[in-house]
Amino acid sequence: MKFKISWPTGIVIALLAFIIFILSFVYKATFVPQYDHHLVSDDYYKDELNYQQEIDKLNKAAALKEDITLTKVAEGLLIKFPSEFDAEKITGIISFQRPSNDKIDFQLPIKLTTSNYLIADKNLVAGRWNVKIEWTINGAPYLFKEKLMY
């Protein structure tokens, strides 16, 4: 007994298989949490309007004699601020953003007694982080950004 499919039936089967294939991707992208698609920022357009100010802060920080350095040490992540400033007068925020999981993002206020700031190892999960340090000294705002593999 031979099983024979006519060409119109073959076309219908191929189209149905293709439709099922596409719908499976739509289902995964919509309902499966593993394929969550979210924006980096909820206020994307509002952030875009302030982008020139961010560029100015980055350029101001790049013009400094000494740049901020991030170093992985046994206790965690050591952030060294430029020594040309009085460390006690530096204020601001350090933001850690995880591109793969926004639920573990966090921010820390900057309060220094020396030019070094240590972030404990327990706060950082291994992987890629976007580090954004916004600080102000003597009324002048600065910004430092770096992608970090921890």
Question: Domain limits of the chain?
Answer: 1-37, 44-149
Determine the Cα–Cα distance for residues 105 and 93; give it in Å rounded to an integer.
Answer: 13
Which pLDDT tens digits describe the chain residue by residue (150 residues)? 677 889 999 999 999 999 999 999 999 888 887 776 665 666 777 777 888 889 999 999 999 999 999 999 999 999 999 988 898 999 999 999 988 887 889 999 999 989 999 999 888 888 999 999 999 998 999 999 999 998
> Quick one: which of 85, 45, 41 has its CA closest to 66?
85
Question: Could you tell me the two tokens for 36?
Answer: 């969550």
CA atoms of 18 and 38, how far apart (whole Å): 27
Residues 6+ apart with CB under 8 A from 119: 76, 77, 78, 79, 94, 108
Per-residue confidence (pLDDT) for residue 38, from 0 to 100: 65
pTM above the 0.75 mark? no
144's tokens = 């430092």
Among residues 96, 116, 92, 114, which one has the least CA distance to residue 105? 96
- Separation CA 144–CA 57 (nearest Å): 8
Amino acid 48: pLDDT = 79
Q: Which of 111, 103, 112, 110 is nearest to 132 (CA)?
A: 110
- The DSSP code sequence of 42-60 is TTHHHHHHTHHHHHHHHHH
Asked: is 44-149 a CATH 3.30.420.40 domain? The reply is no
Return the DSSP state at 68.
-
Q: What is the CA radius of gyration of the chain?
A: 25
Q: Which pLDDT belongs to residue 37?
A: 62
Q: For residue 141, give every residue at least 6 positions away whose Cβ sits within 8 Å of its Cβ, in sequence order, or none.
A: 57, 60, 134, 135
